[in-house]
Every structure is written in C-alpha cells, then in structure tokens.
Amino acid sequence: MQQRLFEGDNCTIGQSGELIFNGVDLGRLAREYETPYYLISENILRANCRRFMAGFEGVPGFRVYYSVKTNYESGVLQCLRDLGFGVEISGGLDLLACRRAGFQPEDIVFDGPCKSEEELRQAIDLGIHLINVESELELQTIDRLARERGRIVPVGIRIDPIVKNPSYSKLISTYKQKFGFPIDRCDSVFELANRCKNVQVVGLHAHIGSQILSPELYVKNLSILFELAARLKKNSLNILEVNIGGGFPAPSTRHLRVSRRMKGAELLDRINLLEARPPEIGEFGRSIQGAYEEACRRWDIRPILATEPGRSLVSNTCVVIGRVRVIKDRWVFTDISINDVPENLFFSEFRVFFPGKMRENWVKKAHLSGPTLATNDVILFETAVPELQAGDPIAIFDTGAYSITRANQFTRPRSAVYFLRSDGRIEVIRRRERPEDVLSMQVWNGRNGAGVFREEAVAVAGLSA
Ligand SMILES: Cc1ncc(COP(=O)(O)O)c(C=O)c1O
C-alpha cells in the first residue's frame, strides 16, 4: 500500500520506504544519474496549468502571462507555449529564452524597474504586446525610442495599489517602494504619458508579492485598479487590460516553509501554521472573478483581466535529487548545496527526504550541510534523520520556482536538469556545467572560451581608460 507523503502533493511512499514522485522511484534515479540534479515533471506542470485556467474559466478573454524568471527551462517554456500561455519577461535573457521556445511577440509583456535601453529597443522592434512602465524616465525613454522608429508603443503603468498595509513592517514597506507608482501619487505619470505622443497607455498593472495566502488581497488590488481605470476613462483614457500580477501560492507550504530560524516561527509551529495549506487556486479564481464582474458592472468598463503567475505553476513540478557524501559527528554533508536551492536562505527552509528510508525511524538529529565552504551552506539545522551512510539518496521537493534561475556557481558548476515527460521518458534539458564552462567567460592573455577576446567590448564598457 502506498501512502501519500503529504496530502495534495505528488509524492507517495512505497511499501519498502521508497519515495515515488509522479510514478518514478527517486532512490533508483539517484543511482542512475550523476547527482545532484533537478527533475521536472511535465505531468504536474500540465495539471497545474489546467487547474489555473479552470479557476478563471468564467472570465471572458482572460490572459495568463507566465512569469519567466521563475523557471525558463526549455521543457517548461515549450509546454506553456503549447498550452497557449503568454509570458512575462524581465529582461533580454528571458526574451531570448521565450523566442527560442516559439512565443510570438503579441504573447509577451515586459516588466521590471530598471530595463536597459537595449532591452527596450529589442522589445519595441519586436512589437511585443506591451511594456509595463515603472518610472517617468522609462516612459520618456520608450517615447524617444518609439519616435525614432515612427511607432506608437503600447504600455501599461505599474501601480503600487496597497501603499499602507498595517501588517507590513517599515522595512517591507520601504522595499516595496522600488516598484511602480504609488496609487495616491500616480496622476503625474498619466499626465506625462498624455504628453508623450509615441506611447499609448493601454494597461494597468500591479504585482503585490509572492506566496500570497489571501484571495482578499487580490480583490482589493483589483478594485483599486478598476477605480483608477474608471477615473482615467473620464479623461478619455481607455484601459484595455488590467493585470493583477502573480503571487499565487504554491499548492503546499510543507516542503518550503517558514524557516525555524525566524523569530515567531516557533509560535507558528505551535499553532500549526508553519506548514499551513494555502487555499486552492480555484478559491482565488472564484473571488477574483466575482470582484471582476462586480467592478465591470459598477464602473461600466470591461478591460481584459490578466495575471502573471510563476511559483504557483512550477514550484511543485521539480525535485532536486542528491546523495549523502560525508558524515562527521552530527554533520551530514550532501552534494546538494544552497547554490542549487537558493530560496533556502534566511526566511524559508526546505525539508529534506530520504528515498528508500521513508519507513524507518527518524530519531537521530543532524545538521544537513551543502558541500561548499560557505558557512551558510546549510540546508537544515537540527533535523530528524534516519540512520544514514555515505551514498544514500536525498530529495528536496518544491524546487521548481526560483531555484534553477537563481542557482549560482560558488565553487561548483551548476547542476543538470532532467525533464520527466508525460510518457515516462526522461530527457536532459540542461546539461551539467563543467568547470570549463564556468571559466570560459574569463579572459586569459587576450583569449576567452569563444576565441580571441574583442577589445571593443572593453572600450564600450568604459574600462579601457
Ligand atoms: C512583476 C512580477 N510579476 C509576476 C511575478 C511572479 O510572482 P510569483 O512567482 O509569486 O507568482 C513576479 C515575481 O517576483 C513579479 O515581480
């Protein structure tokens, strides 16, 4: 009899303690391929996408722009393109990945507070759906670039809709000010846009955070954006698209939970909230849909409703598989580093599981460390583990969001990525980096990995003086 690891996730425990992820025995897989590596499941990705779309089924013209920085592996992007999703890019790297995956310009929106002029130029030349503007300077730059090309460029304006939130600390409120225009001080950007003859404001945009557990926050966000759209209509500005951003939660917080290093985590644990189950995406969909219909009626406007989910679509699609390497006293060193799972930092921590040992007693307490020399390369402190030996497989789930895209090369090349196809085939979609790959960007005696290094590049960067 197989038992679920956690209610609502995709892992089961086999009779002999095997850990089975989407039908695959992870212990067997850990021995088959060199570890560590990421394994992404196409089945789970497709199911998440279907669930997301079903949650917003009743909204005519509903648009989803997948947030590409969450995970831009080829298998993921191709799958989303096949399902008809659009994409939200945050720069030239995302744009290139999306073009390679076959997304059309009209399916692309561009977000970010500090887009380079070159990136803006590329987006305009390609004719993407719209650029969400975050500063007056950016608006003027787009206007100038568009004028040089004899074009009118569609833009959205990013708004910070919830300026004062009593539950935010001063620090969080300050960080948030980096993004967009505060709702109570946004009039001037619309006045400026009116004077910029080569941009046309067609959208309003807001992104209010990540792993948001309350549908009510979206309802509030949407109501504020609609009220603004109605006000703009009186000044003859028709908003065609209202984008409420991403932030929908991963289906489980049991794998990536609030770190016990955080103050208050112990209390959350005691009241059983450390691993609380977030509301289903359908619950968000129903609340947002209701608020959308009401706002359309109330303000007599019907812009397209758009979203930019990232984490909620990909988080639970991926597991990192590694091995125990060295055991010394209470320290268990694994080949998975926080380089591979950088979200495992101060605020949050991944849980770790042991394929093949899931039915044993986990009574020992150990510190699970990554292999690098970084003092903070510790995956879990003081955690219960089974009896372990070097070579035992380990697995970390819910690593599909912001892990591969934020992985770094501190003392080790980055890990490989495999894609578990719906038909059971496993394909490499990113080969393991080699030391030569990392060093190929360095210039040694005028040459780098690509051959003779071009001196002009140095001059353009202003470093030659
Ligand atoms: C502007 C914008 N949209 C969408 C997202 C995706 O957020 P999430 O992965 O929480 O859905 C982000 C993430 O930071 C973002 O900055």
Per domain, the residue ranges of the chain are 3-38+316-399, 42-314
Nearest to 71 by CA among 386, 396, 295, 400: 400
Residue 247, ligand 1, Cβ within 6 A: yes
pLDDT at 465: 38
Q: Which residues contact 376 (CB under 8 A, 6 or more apart)?
A: 338, 345
Is 243 near ligand 1, meaning CB less than 6 Å away?
no
Per-residue model confidence (pLDDT) at position 142: 98
Residues 6+ apart with CB under 8 A from 112: 90, 91, 134
Q: Rounded to the nearest whole angstrom, what is the distance from the C-alpha of residue 383 to the centroid of ligand 1?
A: 31
Amino acid 345: pLDDT: 57
Cα 130 to Cα 155: distance, rounded to the nearest angstrom: 5
- Ligand 1 geometric centre to CA of 333 (Å): 33
Identity of the residue numbered 407 = A
Whole-prediction pTM value? 0.94
Rounded to 10 degrees, the C-alpha dihedral 49/54/55/57 comes to 130
Cα Rg of the chain, angstroms: 24
* Domain formed by 42-314, architecture: Alpha-Beta Barrel (3.20)
Any idea what DSSP says for residue 101? H
CB atoms under 10 Å from CB of 225, counted, come to 24
Reading phi first (left if > 0) and then psi (alpha if -120 to 50, else beta), residue 435 is in alpha
Q: Kind and range of the H or E element at 230? A: helix 215-234
The predicted pLDDT at position 273 comes to 74
The reply to whether ligand 1 has any atom less than 6 angstroms from the CB of 246 is: yes
Digitized pLDDT (tens) for each residue of the chain, 465 residues in all: 578 888 767 899 999 999 999 999 999 999 999 999 999 999 999 999 999 999 999 999 999 999 999 999 999 999 999 999 999 999 999 999 999 999 999 999 999 999 999 999 999 999 999 999 999 999 999 999 999 999 999 999 999 998 666 666 777 777 778 999 999 999 999 999 999 999 999 999 999 988 899 999 999 999 999 999 999 999 999 999 999 999 999 987 778 877 877 778 778 877 777 777 889 999 999 999 999 999 999 999 999 999 999 999 999 999 999 999 999 999 999 999 999 999 865 678 899 999 999 999 999 999 999 999 999 999 999 999 999 999 999 999 999 999 999 999 999 999 999 999 999 999 999 999 999 999 998 998 887 766 766 655 555 555 443
Instruction: List the one residue out of 127, 132, 77, 122 whose CA is nearest residue 103.
Output: 77
- How far is the C-alpha of 377 from the C-alpha of 339, rounded, in Å? 8
Give the separation between CA 239 and CA 301, rounded to whole angstroms. Answer: 9
What 3-state DSSP class applies to 61?
Answer: coil
Q: CATH number of the domain at 3-38+316-399, out of 1.10.468.10, 2.40.50.40, 1.10.287.130, 2.40.37.10?
A: 2.40.37.10
